[in-house]
A and B are shown apart, each in its own frame.
Chain A
C-alpha cells in the first residue's frame, strides 16, 4: 500500500514548467514527503523531500499543502533528460514506492 496517489502519466514540452501532483491524504505527522525519479534501466534518483515547508533545490521545488494532504513537484524548465518515472513517497525511514507518474518531455 503506497498510500499516495499520482496520475499515471503526464506530458510536457521542453523548457516549460512541469507540475507533478501527489495526494497523500492519510499522511501522519512524522512522515516526510519524498520524490524520486527513475530513468530506464537505472536505480531511482533522489529529487527532493520535505516535511511541512516548501523546499527548493537545484533540481526542483516541492510545494506542500498546508494540511499536508497533497504536494506538487515543480520542475521549472523541463529538459529531455527529465523524462522519467517520478515517484511521490510518504516515508518515515524505508521508502514505499507506488506506480509513479511517467513524465514524457517533447522537444
Chain B
C-alpha cells in the first residue's frame, strides 16, 4: 500500500488555460474526496465520490470545475479557464466504505496550482 498519490505535485499555468489533476486513492477505498486549501486556511471540501458516483458537490465547485472517477478507481479534477483565484493546494483523500461515516480519510500530498 503506497498511500494516496497525486500528480502533478506542482503546476504553474497562465490565466485562461485548462488544467487537470490526477488522484490515485488507496486501492479498495470506495470513497474519494477532493479539497482545496489556500494559504493560511484549512482545507475546504469540493466534492466526493463513492465508487464512480459523484455524490456531493460544494458550492465552491463552480461550472469551471469538473471531477470524474471512471470505473471507481483514480479520479481527475479539471479546471477550465483558470483564474488567479484558483491558485491553491488541491488535496485528494480516500477512505473505505463501512458502517456509518466514522472512517478516517487518508490524504495525498496535494497538487499546488499557481495561476499567473
Contact = CB atoms under 8 A, between A and B. Distances in A.
A42 B108 CA distance: 8
Interface size class of A (residues with CB under 8 A): 20 to 34
Interface stretch (A60-68, A75-83, A90-98): A90-98
A1 to B, nearest CB: 11
A43 B45 contact: no
A101 B106 CA distance: 20
A30 to B, nearest CB: 7
Contact of A93 (B41, B44, B48, B91): B48
B107 A45 contact: yes
Interface residues of B, number: 22
A43 B110 contact: yes
B106 A99 contact: no
A94 B56 contact: yes
18 contacts: A34-B104, A43-B4, A43-B91, A44-B93, A46-B104, A49-B104, A85-B42, A91-B101, A93-B101, A94-B45, A94-B48, A95-B43, A95-B45, A95-B93, A95-B105, A97-B35, A99-B41, A100-B42
